[in-house]
Amino acid sequence: MAKGAKDPKSKATTAAPSTPPPTPTTKIGPINNQYEMLLKLHAPHQFTFVDSVMLEEGVHAGHMALVLRPARPFQFMRLPEETKRDILRLALAPEGYLAGKILVATKNNVVASKNYAEGKKDRLGFMRVSKTVNQAAQSLVDDSNGRQLYLLSRPLLYGNHFKFDDTTTLMNFLSVRSLEVKAIFTNIEIATYKKSSSLAALQTLADCTNLRRVHISTGVNLNATPEKAAKAFLQDAGHFLRSMSNARGGVDAGVNVLRFGRSQRCFGVKESDGEIRAWNDEERDRFADLLKADLFK
């Protein structure tokens, strides 16, 4: 083959210039020689085609606009009061049933409830402390129908059984709730009592004056007698217990709402052999009696 000649078997490597996709346009249809174009419209909610209108003004003058009517929303607020409450009670129930718990934990510095939000992102009470969610909630409250719905939903939501992973999460969660919301809580469970946040957490809990039960599972005092444990616990919980007693009009009212885990991980004392054992019933009763006796000293 002569120098400079092209190999007939070689293939060209230069890519052909790409052409833009054709602009959709009308075509002559098979019926009455009318121009036609098929359009497929998508929307997250139902809608109805109403009409087509020729625009006479503005930047789109001379163009035709399609008029679509979205489906009217369901008139929930016009339902009877009891029916609305029943629907909201089921919609706001944690874990899909009325006796469930709303589990609140801190992850990546965000306080949220995974079990409450998972699979139901449109819940009215998304359990998360964030600026974005608070702003969205405020816009709901500012609307007249939204405010009615918010006020109707609030006791059904916050009246659930809440379980917090520790006192730090409880403190952060309650610190952004209003006094009206705090007064709704009736059943709070704390998985881990942390000394670093227990005082602040129980002080924020003092505004929850309608509590019927506060259960602390672990971490209160892992090696102490009832006398020593009661003295330390009162330093953290004194304000909360006195607030509960004053709100209920009974000296023992605050102590009576407390419940504690029964393992040595909540209350324990070291034996002579070095093993930590859980308190017995007599020691637990002694602890409660000391709290009641020393609360208003």
Helix/strand/coil (H/E/C) assignment for every residue in 44-68: CCCEEEEEEEECCCCCCCCCEEEEE
pLDDT at residue 204, as a whole number: 95
* pLDDT-based confidence at residue 128 (cuts at 50, 70, 90): very low
Q: Quick check: 132 pLDDT over 50?
A: no
What is the per-residue pLDDT across 220-235, written as a single tens digit (0 to 9) for each? 998 999 999 999 999 9
285 phi, psi to nearest 5 deg? -65, -40
* Token couple for 100: 């469930």
Q: How many CA atoms lie within 13 A of 80 on its CB side?
A: 3
Its pTM stands at: 0.67
- Give the pLDDT mean for 252-262: 95
For residue 238, give the amino acid letter: G
Q: How many domains is the chain built from?
A: 1
Q: Are 186 and 213 in contact (CB under 8 A)?
A: yes
Tell me whether residue 60 is in a domain.
no
- Give the pLDDT mean for 165-183: 95
Q: How far is residue 278's CA from residue 119's CA, in Å, rounded to a whole number?
A: 40
Tell me whether residue 22 is in a domain.
no
- Give the pLDDT mean for 150-156: 80
Tell me whether residue 272 is in a domain.
yes
Q: How far is residue 282's CA from residue 226's CA, in Å, rounded to a whole number?
A: 10
Print the domain residue range for 272. Answer: 165-297
What is the per-residue pLDDT across 4-54, written as a single tens digit (0 to 9) for each? 555 555 554 555 556 665 566 666 666 666 777 788 888 887 889 889 899
Q: How far is residue 73's CA from residue 261's CA, in Å, rounded to a whole number?
A: 48
* pLDDT-based confidence at residue 129 (cuts at 50, 70, 90): very low
* pLDDT-based confidence at residue 75 (cuts at 50, 70, 90): confident
Mean pLDDT of the chain: 82
Is 94 or 118 the better-scoring residue by pLDDT? 94
Q: Quick check: 143 pLDDT over 80?
A: no
Tell me whether residue 147 is in a domain.
no
Tell me whether residue 283 is in a domain.
yes
Tell me whether residue 180 is in a domain.
yes
Q: Are 157 and 100 in contact (CB under 8 A)?
A: no
Give CA 213 to chain center in angstroms: 21
What is the per-residue pLDDT across 274-294, written as a single tens digit (0 to 9) for each? 899 999 999 999 999 999 998
Which residue's entry shows tokens 């801190």?
106
Q: How far is residue 242's CA from residue 183's CA, in Å, rounded to a whole number?
A: 16
Give CA 77 to chain center in angstroms: 23
What is the per-residue pLDDT across 193-202, written as a single tens digit (0 to 9) for each? 999 999 999 9
Give CA 22 to chain center in angstroms: 48
- Give the pLDDT mean for 84-106: 77
Q: How far is residue 217's CA from residue 167's CA, in Å, rounded to a whole number?
A: 11
Residues linked to residue 107 through DSSP beta bridges, in sequence order: 110
- Give the pLDDT mean for 240-249: 91
Q: Quick check: 71 pLDDT over 60?
A: yes
Q: Are 229 and 237 in contact (CB under 8 A)?
A: no
Tell me whether residue 215 is in a domain.
yes
Percent of the chain with pLDDT over 90: 44
